[in-house]
Amino acid sequence: MGFLRSSSMFSFLLILVLPFSWPTPSSSSANTHEDFLRCLSSSLASNDSSSISRLVYTHRSSNYTSVLESTIHNARFITSTSPRPLVIVTPLHVSHVQATIRCSKRHGLQLRTRSGGHDFEGVSYVSESEAPFVIVDLANLRSIDVDVENEVAWVQSGAIMGELYYAVAQKSRTLAFPGALCHGVAFGGMISGGGYGLLFRKYGLAADNVVDAEFIDVNGRILNRESMGEELFWAIRGGGGGSFGIVLSWKVKLVRVPEIVTVFSISRTLEQNVTQLLHRWQYIAGQFPDEMYSSITIATTNTTVDGRNLTVVATFTTMFLGRANELVPLIQNIFPELGLTIQDCNEMSFVESILVLGMLQNPNENLEILLDRSYRISFLVATPSFKSKSDYVKKPIPEIGFQGIWSQLLEPEARAATLNFVAYGGVMDEISESAVPFPHRKGNIYEISYNVRWPEEDNVNSQRYVSWMRKLYSYMTPYVSKSPREAYVNYRDLDIGKNNDDGHTSYAQASLWGRKYFKNNFNRLVKMKTRIDPENFFRHEQSIPPYFG
């Protein structure tokens, strides 16, 4: 009976997968694909009775495209020429993940792991290699168990940040988690790169607050912190996703927040001395108390109805763990030039500040929007394709440096471009660079993320926008960190270097990008990769490579 059931599953899969919408594979390649599907269907049949149509999607599945694109957040990779996976597996529990790893490895197929699809270069769901690949999409593995009494939570990798914030808020107004601001970012990808947000100057990164994990290695073993050992546990907390195995869930510490926090956003243009304000902000950002998150978003805006008068606008945003009557005199003392008044401030709960600063909606409206995985703010809907880069600033940029930025922001390609400055300092200065693989700690005044966006229909002209971004990035060279020029792995950028398509990349080649993301921690990550996955099964364009002798 089991054989008949497994055979019927395989027949179903084979009908779905042939013919392919990409170039027809050779008979040898087709046999490999068939063998993979037979292996997968047999494994799934022997493990549980879940409907195969709920787990496996091929090119012939009617909803293959909708599943593939459901969590693609960069439409630059939704084109007719974008590589597509042979199969998408959407596991419902751990045995499905184990089966996919085992069958992909056995039949020589590459494997990409996607938790939320926010990878800036799409490496969790596309591949520059011509080899066929499989996606394990963790969106169904999204359970959250909040333990208020012990101030911890178990969170599966497919859960989005909004789901965690909502779950915690339902049980406590004074507990939170120091994760990403964007509600739709999935937990697994965010924490694999470090993860910072509104609370990181007070409590550190998301990765700094992980106390255990459930992990599947290349051999399908399920490991926790004790069984995997401290070195591997160190590597998965900020060493980048897709390199060591698949983390199914994370046990994290929850942190204390007051019942009321204060938020303000103040915008100033070039005509309102924004250059001088930005220059001054750099010198006092490090003086902000740990309880304060401070960022600046820089863009362009039209000052006339006909849109002919374009100028630069900077929005100064703060979230403070306290009341407005505490915040206002503090800002008036150290940053009087901003002109903050009590009328500029709004008091609310911490979870409501996620809604406001995440540009979701009015805080007085329903928190259920945090659970909407498909929600996009209008700006992102209009310009879903983008290219991003990142930098770290250790010395204040002179005013003349900002003048050069303004001239580039006023170019036509930059109509939907933004620069985001996020103040560092606080507890980040006190945590060692080697505490987790994320090394960007003491000595950084702020981080810059650069983003240029364009409409999906303009993807044919994407190189125009990418070239603009590269030009701005080159201009910034004298003003940012050096040797290496540091970058944040969660703002992935393949321009800074990538691995070879064949899976064999030298340590020297990988160091070109690896040290920018991880500095001296890169060597330790390579040693762990060599130990846990020496054949480099888990790999992508910027995965940690093993040593090849």
Q: What's the confidence (pLDDT) of residue 409? A: 98
Strands, E assignment, 321-384: 346-348
Sort strands 446-454 and 385-393 into parallel, antiparallel or unpaired.
antiparallel
What are the residues facing 298 on neighbouring strands?
314, 419
395: burial class by Cβ within 10 Å (0-12, 13-18, 19+)? Answer: exposed
Nearest to 165 by CA among 380, 353, 362, 365: 353
Q: Is residue 491 annotated as part of the catalytic site, yes or no?
A: yes
Per-residue tokens: 65 = 């495209």
Distance, CA of 489 to CA of 238 (rounded, Å): 8
d(C-alpha 184, C-alpha 250), whole Å: 18
Catalytic one of 165, 196, 473, 491? 491
CB 313 within 8 A of CB 299: yes
CA dist 343 and 155 (Å) reads: 38
Q: 446: exposed, middle or buried (C-beta count within 10 Å: 0-12, 13-18, 19+)?
A: buried
Instruction: Say how far apart CA 404 and CA 407 lie, in whole Å.
Output: 5
Across the beta sheet with 56-58, the strand order is 56-58, 87-89, 133-137, 110-114
Residue 480 neighbours by CB under 8 Å, 6+ apart: 391, 392, 393, 394, 448, 486
Q: What angle do CA 476, 481, 482 make, to 5 degrees?
A: 100
- Cα(146)–Cα(138) distance, rounded to whole angstroms? 20
For the chain, 549 residues long, the average pLDDT of each consecutive 10-residue run is 40 40 44 79 68 82 93 91 92 95 94 95 92 95 98 98 97 98 96 98 98 98 98 98 97 98 97 97 95 98 76 98 98 97 97 91 78 81 92 98 98 96 98 98 98 95 97 98 98 97 93 98 98 97 91
Peptide bond into 85 cis (omega under 30): no
Element (H, E) at 430: none
Provide DSSP, 76-119. GG-STTS---SEEE--SSHHHHHHHHHHHHHTT-EEEEESSS--
Q: Distances in Å between the alpha carbon of 460 and those of 74, 77, 158, 413?
A: 14, 12, 32, 14
Please count the CA atoms within 13 angstroms of the CA of 44 that sit on its side-chain side.
31
Cα–Cα distance list, 520 to 268, 433, 441, 497, 526 (Å): 39, 9, 13, 17, 11
What pLDDT sits at residue 426? Answer: 98
Instruction: Please report, as a single letter, which amino acid is at residue 384.
Output: P
* Both tokens assigned to 542: 């910027």
For the chain, how many residues are written?
549
- Which pLDDT value is given to residue 46? 63
| DSSP-derived 3-state class of residue 520 | coil
- Provide the pLDDT for residue 60: 84
Q: Using an 8 Å Cβ cutoff, are 393 and 479 in contact?
A: yes
pLDDT of residue 237: 98
Residue 51's pLDDT is: 65
